[in-house]
Amino acid sequence: MNRPEFFVNHADKIINETRKPGILEGSTLSRHRIKQEPIAREAQWAETWQQALDPAGLHPRKHVLIIVAPRSYGSTTLALHLLAEHTGEETDIVKLDADWKTPKVGWLPAEERHAYQVDLKDPEHDRISADFLTMLEEHAGLLERLGSYLVLNVAKDLWTDHYASVQSGIHVVHVTEPPPAQGVVEARLRAREAAGLIAYLHSVDKSKASISRLDAVEAVRTADSIMLAWREHERLTDTSLPMDAPSSWSALDAGLLERITSAMSDWRDKLDTLFGETVSGHGGKDTSLPLEDRCLLLALAVCQSAPMPVVAKAARDLQRIISADVASGSDFASSTSAAFAGRGLRRRVVDVGAGVSSNDEAIFDQPGYGRAILTYVWDNYEVMRDPLLKWLMSGDSSEANEHVVDAIAALTLRHGNVDHLVQLGSKSYPVKDELLSALLVQAVQDEHIGRQAWGILYGWASGKERAATVVAACRQVLNSPDVTSSQARMAMVRLRRAANSGHESAWPEALAVFIEQAQHPAGVARLITEVRTWQQSGRSRGAGTAAFLALMSVPGSTTPWLLSDEIPSEVNVKRALQDLLGDIDTAPDAINRLTTWVRQSATDPDTYARVRDGLLPVLRGQKIFKASVSLMQALEHVSVDGETNAANDFWDRLVDPRVRTVFQLNRDSA
């Protein structure tokens, strides 16, 4: 696995694929997988489908298709299914990432037998102009000659009075209605092998939970809520209700139907009561909750099941944050006497709908209901948004668990904008890097705001306050097993920006990420690209030097990979090593790695000779004389084949005999 030739062959492949600068990249999608994904093709969507096809209904009407639709209508799903079902099997389907400052036809790839899809939804970077459409006409002709297609999904608010003529080679389709929500929900339930839940969907009281006006995104959320309600019901009732086959109307479980109805309505009836105006005594679950219990319920919604002291502390922390927003001088945080005079914690936990185990653990294994509680408070109490975010983001790094990250993501990404993400990056929020970076990873992978989230990372990368957050987020993206080449490129660009920012901690943190990348072929290819960019730019210390240092640790045989015959020609190893050794900041790291090279090769005389002879030209020269001496001192205890001392060997070959009495190797400094 760690053979040098394996690394370089893989690296050359990726370099060749990405050598063209300024061309959008993306992911090649599985045609079969697209066809397996659910889609509702009814009502206006059936008409739109036909409008997008040629009269014979075999292929897209034109080689460039523009689908204009309001956000959250699911037009991207429509485009991908259209390409999967109406382009040839030999055609590669590629979903592009529009990582540009403004749409440019010159950035659109054009290869033979490819079907490209790209979303234009970012209000800052995706507004198309008349000039863009004019040039797109020429691009359509090129695609036709190549047997390729392009579908642009444009948000309606970014399409202003543009007109494409019939003869232009561009066909524009307007989507004015979302797909029928009922069909979307049913299709998603079938795709998740839960067709038995469709009967429950039909049995829900429409006056309590109507889905007729939901857009595509909301319909998908509804299907997910139904699935969660089913699983919660099985857990809470300790029953098994298989749903992989259609259910008979007579066999519907009344308790599950009630839970699904509540889930589809976002539990509004129950939460309207719990968060009502009148505060009752502790008379049960259906009374309006006092402030401290509202905080407790929110704590349970985030923590789910957790030790009682943990839940109690989380509730108190939220109440303190709320109290800090009250005019100075007032404080409604419960005093010890007031708390002791009220209900005990166990009674309060039960009153808000949770249980307590014999091990003093609060049991609230209801993620669907918990999510509904959070979104209810978020949507109905605008003044609570800031305290909620401060509370969720204020935990220790050890608390940056999946529940917390999911809760923050559900709230901040709920309405399809990045305003709250930007807010979290401000100085007023004492946010832990681990928590914020995990949230940003979710954001960049969100199909609706991913582009804008990448933009936030780009802006933060050059700032001292959030550079570490950017590095941590990009590290998680690069280490994801599902990372696409486009996502990896965007992560590397932002790592480069952070490493080049000059901030004290950013460079070593980026180096640590690069060293991880050097351990596998795809990462090596990314680092080679970074080194090439560095050597072409002439920049001194920065991302390029970190990338080269990381490449010095590529695993392999006793011969260092950078000195092997397989090293790509675009990497000038001699120049890079001289730059590193000539810089007082990078010389120590370079010397440590060179020492490792020599030590690992010393077991074989032939390999050692190759490494030594490869390094000698690098080490000659006045600018790096001091670094050369430091390296030889570091080699003092390295013996070659048990006989020759590596330090003496290098000294004898590097230093002219006529000046050895003037410049002597200080053995004591080794």
Q: Check residue 642 and give left, alpha or beta (phi > 0: left; psi -120 to 50: alpha).
A: left
Assigned CATH topology for domain 41-174:
Rossmann fold (3.40.50)
As a whole number, mean pLDDT of residues 208-223 equals 86
pLDDT at position 246, please? 75
Alpha-carbon span 487 to 307, nearest angstrom: 39
3-state secondary structure of 634: helix
pLDDT at position 662, please? 56
pLDDT at position 453, please? 92
Residue type at 410?
A: A
Scanning 192-237, the segments in alpha helix (DSSP H) are: 198-203, 216-237
Run of H or E residues at 68: strand 64-69
Q: How many CB atoms lie within 10 A of CB 559?
A: 21
User: DSSP label at 28?
Assistant: E
pLDDT at residue 459 greater than cutoff 80 = yes
Alpha-carbon span 277 to 284, nearest angstrom: 16
User: DSSP label at 429?
Assistant: S
When comparing pLDDT for 658 and 177, which is higher? Answer: 177
Residue type at 130?
A: A
Question: Considering only 86-90, 224-228, 343-347, 473-477, which range has the smallest mean pLDDT?
Answer: 343-347
Would you state the structure tokens that stand for residue 452, as one six-digit string? 């804008």
pLDDT at residue 20 greater than cutoff 70 = no
Run of H or E residues at 9: helix 4-17
For residue 64, which of 48, 51, 52, 81 has the smallest C-alpha distance?
52
Would you state the structure tokens that stand for residue 259, as one six-digit string? 């839970």
DSSP string computed for 230-243:
HHHHHHHHT-----
pLDDT at residue 194 greater than cutoff 60 = yes
Contact 197, 188 (CB under 8 A): no
Question: Considering only 281-290, 323-332, 381-390, which range has the smallest mean pLDDT?
Answer: 323-332
376-402 per-position pLDDT tens digit = 999 999 999 989 998 988 865 444 477
End-to-end CA distance of the chain: 35
pLDDT at position 324, please? 77
Alpha-carbon span 513 to 507, nearest angstrom: 10
Alpha-carbon span 165 to 169, nearest angstrom: 8
| 94 band by pLDDT with thresholds 50, 70 and 90 | very high
Alpha-carbon span 165 to 139, nearest angstrom: 15
Q: What is the mean pLDDT of the chain?
A: 85
3-state secondary structure of 346: helix
3-state secondary structure of 353: coil
3-state secondary structure of 154: strand
As a whole number, mean pLDDT of residues 337-365 equals 82
Alpha-carbon span 532 to 526, nearest angstrom: 10
- Would you say the pTM of this structure is higher than 0.85? no
Q: What percent of the chain has pLDDT over 70?
A: 88
As a whole number, mean pLDDT of residues 255-267 equals 88
Would you state the structure tokens that stand for residue 24, as one six-digit string? 């959008």
As a whole number, mean pLDDT of residues 114-135 equals 92
Q: Which residue has the tokens 């690394």?
A: 7
Three-state SS across 88-131?
A: CCCCEEEEECCCCCCCCHHHCCCCCCEEEEEEECCCCCCCCCHH
For residue 591, which of 646, 641, 531, 633 has the smallest C-alpha distance?
633
pLDDT at position 358, please? 81
pLDDT at position 284, please? 47
Question: Between the ranges 171-180, 205-214, 426-435, 649-658, where is the mean pLDDT highest?
Answer: 171-180
Question: Considering only 138-152, 524-538, 619-633, which range has the smallest mean pLDDT?
Answer: 619-633
Residue ranges covered by each domain of the chain:
41-174, 181-265, 272-385
As a whole number, mean pLDDT of residues 37-58 equals 89
pLDDT at residue 465 greater than cutoff 70 = yes
When comparing pLDDT for 16 and 536, which is higher? Answer: 536
Q: Which residue has the tokens 């303190």?
A: 320
pLDDT at position 658, please? 65
Query: For 420-457, b where at least 16 C-beta lie within 10 A, e where not — what string?
Result: bbeebbeeeeebbbbbbbbbbbbbbeeebbbbbbbbbb
399-442 per-position pLDDT tens digit = 447 788 888 988 988 877 788 888 888 877 767 788 899 999 99
User: DSSP label at 657?
Assistant: G
Contact 578, 587 (CB under 8 A): no
As a whole number, mean pLDDT of residues 46-69 equals 93
pLDDT at position 537, please? 82
568-616 per-position pLDDT tens digit = 888 899 999 999 999 898 999 999 999 999 998 888 888 999 999 999 9
Contact 392, 408 (CB under 8 A): yes
When comparing pLDDT for 333 and 471, which is higher? Answer: 471
